[in-house]
A and B are shown apart, each in its own frame.
Chain A
Amino acid sequence: TQLLEQSPQFLSIQEGENLTVYCNSSSVFSSLQWYRQEPGEGPVLLVTVVTGGEVKKLKRLTFQFGDARKDSSLHITAAQPGDTGLYLCAGGGSGGSNYKLTFGKGTLLTVNP
């Protein structure tokens, strides 16, 4: 069974601060996806990383996939209240089911104005 350890589980910060969310595993993943879920809505894909060492930027969000494809991080610069939500990492297994993603436990981020 593949597991993704996501940390921290809860994060409450002030507007303008920086933060990093981590997803770690002992297993290799073929891809890592990051989703954000706002209250009352379904998760929305932010990014997919597939290559070890890959870095992707989405405005103030920077995503990194570890060289060994076992870990990933999400860094937010100058957080804004609109960034508030549940952040989920999800790994695609290498050799496992084509349809089954492994989700981390999620990080509930609150950005206070």
Chain B
Amino acid sequence: DTEVTQTPKHLVMGMTNKKSLKCEQHMGHRAMYWYKQKAKKPPELMFVYSYEKLSINESVPSRFSPECPNSSLLNLHLHALQPEDSALYLCASSQGGRTNSPLHFGNGTRLTVT
């Protein structure tokens, strides 16, 4: 079992819906990440939170809105998505501070936008 828990595992939403993805870790990690992954491709970084503050936004469209309520939780709010946003959304955490720190990934949310 992964130590990073993501819910839901699967999500189907229409282009006018609003939904949220959730991520939780209890390893005491202070950096948390959202990645987007298309089939058979590497993960693409979307956002990084460090010590609960947004540290990196990789020019992600505003229809994706991240939130870090506390050091253990990370949300991704979705609104007015497009079919091309369908992908696996991965949450990850790390001890933070250096890129030598390995990423601990969740098993992802498989998102389908209809």
CA gap between A112 and B80 in the complex, in Å: 42
A64-101, CB under 8 A of B: which get 1 and which 0? Answer: 00000000000000000000001010111100111111
Could you tell me the distance in whole angstroms from the C-beta of B88 to the nearest C-beta in chain A? 8
CA gap between A43 and B90 in the complex, in Å: 9
- Chain B residues with Cβ below 8 Å from A101 are 45, 99, 103
B107 touches A42 (CB 8 A): yes
**Interface residues of B, count at CB 8 A:** 28
CA gap between A23 and B101 in the complex, in Å: 19
- Chain B residues with Cβ below 8 Å from A44 are 105
The A interface, classified by DSSP as helix, strand, loop or mixed, is: strand
B42 touches A106 (CB 8 A): yes
B-side interface residues toward A, CB under 8 Å?
Answer: 2, 4, 31, 33, 40-43, 45, 48, 50, 55-56, 90, 92, 94, 96-100, 102-108
Given contacts A43-B103, A88-B43, A105-B41, 15 further A-B contacts (CB under 8 A): A31-B100, A41-B2, A43-B90, A45-B103, A50-B100, A86-B40, A91-B99, A92-B99, A97-B56, A98-B96, A99-B48, A99-B55, A99-B96, A106-B42, A108-B40
A-side interface residues toward B, CB under 8 Å?
Answer: 30-31, 33, 35, 40-45, 48, 50, 86, 88, 90-93, 96-101, 103-106, 108
